[in-house]
Structure 1
Amino acid sequence: MKIKEIKVGKITVPLKKSFKTALRTVHSIEDIVVKVVTDTGHVAYGEAAPTAVITGDTNGSIRCAIEDYIAPQIIGLDIENMEEIMTRIDKSIIKNTSAKAAVDIAIYDLFGQLYNAPLYKLLGGYKKEIISDLTISVNEPSEMAEDSIDAVKRGYKTLKIKVGLDSKMDMERIKAIRDAVGYNIDLRLDANQGWKPKEAVMLLRKMEDKGFNIELVEQPVLASDLDGLKFVTDNVNIPILADESVFSPEDAVKIIQNRAADLINIKLMKTGGIHNALKICSVAEIYGVECMIGCMLESKLSVSAAAHLAASKKIITKIDLDGPGLCKEDPIIGGPEFNDYRIILNDDGGLGFKEIRNLSFSS
C-alpha cells in the first residue's frame, strides 16, 4: 500500500453558537482537509485547524506546507514504513504543526486500514469508550450559567469554563455557574494565557477559599512564561495543566522536570499529529504525570483521531474532545460515535470514515 496522491481541500461547519475565549471569537469551523489515496485504492483523510493565535497556522500556510513541502517528501512511500514517513513529515518543514497533523492523521488511518484494525487497538487498545467534557465560552456570567445548565441537561458531568478576560469578572462567572449547576458537576477552568502569575494565584486562592472545588486550571499564564507557570503551580492547591506551553516531547520534558505544571495537555494540532503525541505520552508515563487530550475548533474528522489516541493510552485520564458537540451539523459519515459526552470507538479499520460531506477541492 503506497502513497499515490495527496489532495488538499476545505471543510466548513457552522457552530451552534459563537465560540469565545480570551484569545478569539469564532463562528464556524473553516478547516483544511487532506485526502491521501494509495495505489491499492484506499483513501484516508486528515484535518488541520487554522489557529493562528496559538499555533501560528492559517489556512493559506497549511495548504502551502502540505502541497509544497510535506506531500513531495512522502509520495511513493509504503504505509508499512511508518517511521520513514513520519521522519520525512517532521523534517519537511519546521513548525507548521497543524499541516503536519493533517497528513499524520491520514497516514495513521491508512495504517489501521492496512491491518484492518481500529486505530486505538493498534496504538494500545486500553478502552473502547471515553467521556468528554464540554466547553462553555466566555460571556456574561448569566449567559455562561445558562449554557452550563443546558450542557448538564445534555448529560455532561464535566464542564470546561473559558476565563481569562477579566479576573474580577471571572470570579463572578464561576460563582454564577456553581450556583446554577451545583457541586456534583466538575469544573475545569481554561484561562488561555489570560492572567498574570500573581493575579492567577490571588484569584485561584479566592476560589479555593470560596470552596468552588475546581478540578484543574488550564494555561493560566503566557505560554512562554514557564517561571510564571511554575509560580502558579507552586502557590495554589488546584492542579495546573500546561497547554499552549507544550507543543513537543521536548517541551513536555522541560515542563515536567521543572515541575512547572501538574498535568500536560496533548493536542494533535500542536504536536504535529499522533506520532509526536505518542512520544509525549511516553514521557508522561516515565514521570507519572497524567495527561489530558484536547482539540482546537475541529470537526469530527480530526477529533476522531484524538479520540482513538485517548482510548489507546492509560496515561490520558482527562478528555476534552468537544469539537463535534459544538457543531451545528456533522458532515463526517462513519468513524467513532459521538453521543454528546460519550464517545464510542469504531470497530472497522483505521478511523472508520465512510464519507466526508461538503468537502471541496480546488482545481
Structure 2
Amino acid sequence: MEITDVTAVTVDVPLTSTDEHLGIAPYTTNHGELESMERVLVRVDTDEGIEGWGEMRVFLSPTATESLIEDGIGPMVVGQSPFEIERLRRQVFVEYTNVDMFFSAVETACWDIVGKALDRPVYELLGGWTAPTQSTLQHRSHVADGTRNPGPVPVAFCLGILPPEESRVKAREALDAGFDVLKTKAGRDWRQDVARIKAMHDETDGQLEFRLDPNQGWTLDQAVRVGAMLEDEGIYLQYLEQPIRVDSHVSLARLRQRLRQPIAPNEDTYVPHNISSLVEAGAMDVGVIDLTPAGGISGIRQQAAILEDAGVPFTHHCAFDLGIRTAAILHAVSGIPGFSLPPDSTYYAWEGDVISEPFEVEDGCLPAPLGPGLGISVDRDAVEAYRI
C-alpha cells in the first residue's frame, strides 16, 4: 500500500453560548476570546482506496497551514507506506525548524489507514487497553476473541474566564452533568482567578477538582500568591498549569518547592527534549502533553514513556478538538500506558461536528471508539457546510 495524496481543508465551527447548558462561548483566555474555532482537517489517500483522517488547529492562517501540509509534508510521504509510521516520522525533517506539528495530522491519518486495513482500532495497535482510571475500570468489557475493550473515558470540563458568580453557575452545571474535574483559564487578574476558584469550590461543596491555567500569564510572585491564597482557603488544585513563562525550568522548580499546589507544565512540553529537562530540574508534578506538537500519536507515546519512567502522572491537553482529533486522543489515552488523569475536552460545547456519528458526553465521559482505525467516519456534507 502506498500514499497517493495528502489534502487539507479548514472548517470553522461555532461554540455554544454560556447561556446554554454546558455552553462555553465566548471562551475568554489570557490571550483572547473565542466564539468559534478554525480546525484543519487532513485526508491521506492510498492506492488501495483506503483513506485516513487527521485534524489540527490553524497556525498563522488557514492558507499557510494547508500549504505547509499539502506542499510541504505531502511530497515527503507520497509514494510511501502508511504502515511505516515511525520511519516517516523520522524522515520528516527540515533544518532550522520543527515541522512535527504539521506532520501530526498526517501521522494520525496513517494510524487510521492501518487500523482500517487490519480491521482493528488504533488503541489495540498501540498495545491494547491500558487506561487505569477508576471510571474506566468500572466500565470495561470483553469481546468474543478475548480482546479487552476500553470503557468510557472521563474528561475534564473546560471553562474560560468568567466573573465569579457566572463561574459558580457553570461549575454547578458541570458537577450535575457528571464531571469530576473542571479546568478554568486564568491570567488576566490573579486576584479574580483566586475569587473564581473559591466561588466554584463553595458552590460544589468541594466535590469538583480544579485545574487553573493562566497560559503563562502570571509572574513568579503572582503564582506564589495564587497558590498560597488557595492553600489558606483549604483548596488544593489538581494542578496549576503552566503558571509562568516557558523555558523557566529553574523558576518552575522553585515555585514547586514553595507551594503545595501541583505544578503542571503544558506549553513547555511542546518543545523537543523539554520533558527530559523538566524532569531533571524537578520542575513538574504533572505533565500536560499534546499529540499535535509532539508530532502525532507516535510522538506522544515517546513523551508518555519518559514521564512514566520518571514517575510523573500526565494527561492530554485540549485544543478545541472536533471528532477526528477527539477520537485520536481517546485512542491514545486508552492505549498508551501512563495516562492517569482525565484529558481536557470542550467536545460537549460544539454546535456541530464533521463526523457522521458525533460522540455523546454522558456522565462526564466520552465513549472510546471501537471501530477500525480511529473508529469514525467523516461527514463530507458537514465539512462543506463548515468549510471556509
The bucket for the TM-score relative to the shorter chain is over 0.9
Number of the residue aligned with 2:65 = 62
Could you tell me how far 1:291 is from its partner in structure 2? 0.9
Could you tell me how far 1:41 is from its partner in structure 2? 0.6
- 2:383 is equivalent to residue 359 of structure 1: yes
Equivalent positions of 1:1-363 (< 5 A) are 1-16=1-16, 17-50=25-58, 57-91=60-94, 94-125=97-128, 126-127=130-131, 128-129=150-151, 130-248=153-271, 250-334=273-357, 338-339=361-362, 341-356=364-379, 357-360=381-384
| Residues 110, 213 of structure 1: alpha-carbon distance in 2 compared, 3 angstrom cutoff | same
Does structure 2 conserve the Cα–Cα contact (< 8 Å) formed by 1:333 and 1:355? yes
Does structure 1 conserve the Cα–Cα contact (< 8 Å) formed by 2:83 and 2:110? no
CA distance in 2, matches of 1:153, 1:336: 19
Q: Which moved more, 1:315-324 or 1:299-308?
A: 315-324
Number of the residue aligned with 2:145 = none
| Residues 180, 335 of structure 1: alpha-carbon distance in 2 compared, 3 angstrom cutoff | closer
Could you tell me how far 1:92 is from its partner in structure 2? 8.4
Give identity over the alignment, percent: 25
CA distance in 2, matches of 1:351, 1:92: 32
Instruction: Note the alpha carbon deviations across 1:302-361, whole angstroms, 9 max, x for none.
Output: 121111101112311112231312212223124866436212222221101222342249
Classify the secondary structure of the residue corresponding to 2:268: coil
Classify the secondary structure of the residue corresponding to 2:81: coil
| Residues 324, 186 of structure 1: alpha-carbon distance in 2 compared, 3 angstrom cutoff | same
Which sections of structure 1, spanning at least 5 residues, go unmatched? none
Could you tell me how far 1:246 is from its partner in structure 2? 0.7
CA distance in 2, matches of 1:248, 1:283: 14
| Residues 259, 36 of structure 1: alpha-carbon distance in 2 compared, 3 angstrom cutoff | same
Classify the secondary structure of the residue corresponding to 1:358: helix
TM-score of the aligned structures, taking structure 1 as reference length: 0.92
Instruction: Note the alpha carbon deviations across 1:128-171, whole angstroms, 9 max, x for none.
Output: 13210111111111111111111122211111121111111111
Does structure 1 conserve the Cα–Cα contact (< 8 Å) formed by 2:13 and 2:36? yes
Superposition misfits of 4+ residues, deviation over 4 angstroms:
90-93, 334-338
Classify the secondary structure of the residue corresponding to 1:193: coil
**Count, aligned residues:** 358
Q: Which moved more, 1:316-325 or 1:25-34?
A: 316-325
CA distance in 2, matches of 1:226, 1:182: 35
CA distance in 2, matches of 1:338, 1:108: 24
Does structure 1 conserve the Cα–Cα contact (< 8 Å) formed by 2:178 and 2:362? no
Task: Give RMSD over aligned pairs.
Answer: 2.1
| Residues 107, 323 of structure 1: alpha-carbon distance in 2 compared, 3 angstrom cutoff | farther
| Residues 74, 337 of structure 1: alpha-carbon distance in 2 compared, 3 angstrom cutoff | farther
TM-score of the aligned structures, taking structure 2 as reference length: 0.87
User: In structure 2, what residue type is equivalent to 1:48?
Assistant: M
CA distance in 1, matches of 2:266, 2:63: 25
CA distance in 1, matches of 2:85, 2:293: 20
Does structure 2 conserve the Cα–Cα contact (< 8 Å) formed by 1:307 and 1:345? yes
| Residues 15, 97 of structure 1: alpha-carbon distance in 2 compared, 3 angstrom cutoff | farther
Which sections of structure 2, spanning at least 5 residues, go unmatched? 17-24, 132-149
User: In structure 2, what residue type is equivalent to 1:23?
Assistant: H
User: In structure 1, what residue type is equivalent to 2:182?
Assistant: L
Could you tell me how far 1:196 is from its partner in structure 2? 0.7
User: In structure 2, what residue type is equivalent to 1:25?
Assistant: E
- The structure that is strand-richer by fraction is 1
| Residues 335, 314 of structure 1: alpha-carbon distance in 2 compared, 3 angstrom cutoff | farther
